[in-house]
Amino acid sequence: MSLFAQTEPATGSWLSTGLLLAVAVTSLAAGLWLLLPKAGRDSRWPWRLGAALGLLALGLFVVTGQRLGNLGEEAVFLIVSLVAVVSAAATITCRSPVYAAIWFALCLAGVSGVLLVLGAQFLGVATIVVYAGAILVMFLFVLMLAQPSGLAASDRVTNEPLLSAVAGAVLLGLLSLSIGRLSAEDPACCRPPSKAAALAGEPTSPVPVGEAVDLLAADQVARLGGELFGRHLVAVEAVGVLLLVALIGAIAIVSHGLEGDQAERSSLQEGGSP
């Protein structure tokens, strides 16, 4: 079982796949629109209806995926991806920005689980350490520094919730259509290409020349490090310089901004104009 079933969909089924996908997209848009904070909300029922519609859309996407291609088999993958997706939806619909940040942390846990299932052990751990450990804590620091009063008025309304929800849902529908059409027989997209031929711009030969690596070998982290510091050494150095520049730039902006503010204020006081 995988998210997109390998078997051909039954042609005579009473519900066509396109109709299912349309219903999924519509209910996702409606659910997101109901969940997003907006004016005129005085009871809990829009939230409940929106959550129900969102879960319905999720189920419909799974069913549509099964008809388009293959449906997901690993229970672990389904569970961690469900955690990631549901908490991502909670991140963008939560009214309090602090709760949004906490939901984002849960989403990161789910994403790191997905990365682990996909065989990227180092990245799964690095996502937790770098994102949840450093970047998210920085967000929370800024929130605590800056939030004037917990629930600002601007957190309870949104810009164009209906249009944005429709845009996101339609984008997801289009993406899932194109993902469902991927198949191993299509030589242009999905056959593992031979690296040498791809680099030379030649058409890929049916037999891959560059050997595919077993990504799940026991020493995969060591081999990832070898790849990183072998083929991509210059890029790693460049990223190191970028990190340093960002650090210096952040400090410079802060200190210069403070000086600029003080200069502005003193000039205003000397000029006597407001």
Partner 1 sequence: MTPAVLLAAAPLPLLQNGLMVGAILFSLGLVGILTRRNLIVMFLSAELMLQGISVSLVAWSRYHGDFGGQVLVVFVLSVAACEAAVALVFVLQAFTRTGRLDSAAWQSLRESTLARSVDHEIPAIDAPLPVFPRLTPAGVSPEADADAALQREHV
> Among 235, 263, 266, 267, which residue interacts with partner 1 (rule: CB under 8 A)?
235
User: What is the smallest separation between the CB atom of 19 and partner 1, expressed in angstroms?
Assistant: 20
- Contact status: 148 vs partner 1 (CB under 8 A): yes
Which residues sit opposite 72 in a β-bridge? 2
How many other C-beta atoms are found inside a 10 Å radius of the C-beta of residue 68?
23
Stretch that binds partner 1, among 15-23, 178-186, 199-207, 266-274 (CB under 8 A): 178-186
* Dihedral pair phi/psi, residue 71, rounded to 5°: -110, 140
CB nearer partner 1, residue 19 or residue 82: 82
**CB distance 50 to 31 below 8 Å:** yes
- Contact status: 237 vs partner 1 (CB under 8 A): no
Find the binding residues for partner 1 in span 72-111 (CB under 8 A).
Answer: 72-73, 77, 81, 84-85, 88-89, 91-92, 95-98, 100-101, 104, 107-108, 111
CA nearest to 6, candidates 178, 183, 172:
183
Stretch that binds partner 1, among 12-20, 180-188, 199-207, 265-273 (CB under 8 A): 180-188
- Contact status: 70 vs partner 1 (CB under 8 A): yes
DSSP helix, strand, coil percent of the chain (3-state; round to 5): 70, 0, 30
- Contact status: 30 vs partner 1 (CB under 8 A): no
- Contact status: 182 vs partner 1 (CB under 8 A): yes
- Contact status: 11 vs partner 1 (CB under 8 A): no
Maximum C-alpha span of the chain: 82
DSSP assignment of 68-102 equals HS-EE--HHHHHHHHHHHHHHHHHHH-SSHHHHHH
- Contact status: 199 vs partner 1 (CB under 8 A): no
- Contact status: 135 vs partner 1 (CB under 8 A): yes
> Among 15, 171, 209, 263, which residue interacts with partner 1 (rule: CB under 8 A)?
171
Does residue 208 come out as left (phi exceeding 0), alpha (psi in the -120 to 50 range) or beta? beta
- Contact status: 186 vs partner 1 (CB under 8 A): no
- Contact status: 50 vs partner 1 (CB under 8 A): no
CB nearer partner 1, residue 12 or residue 43: 43
- Beta-carbon-side half-sphere exposure of residue 27 (alpha carbons within 13 Å): 17
Which residues sit opposite 2 in a β-bridge? 72
**Is residue 74 classed as helix, strand or coil in its secondary structure?**
coil
- Contact status: 20 vs partner 1 (CB under 8 A): no
User: What is the smallest separation between the CB atom of 268 and partner 1, expressed in angstroms?
Assistant: 14
> Among 22, 168, 197, 204, which residue interacts with partner 1 (rule: CB under 8 A)?
168
For 223, residues 6+ apart whose C-beta sits below 8 A from its C-beta are 213, 217
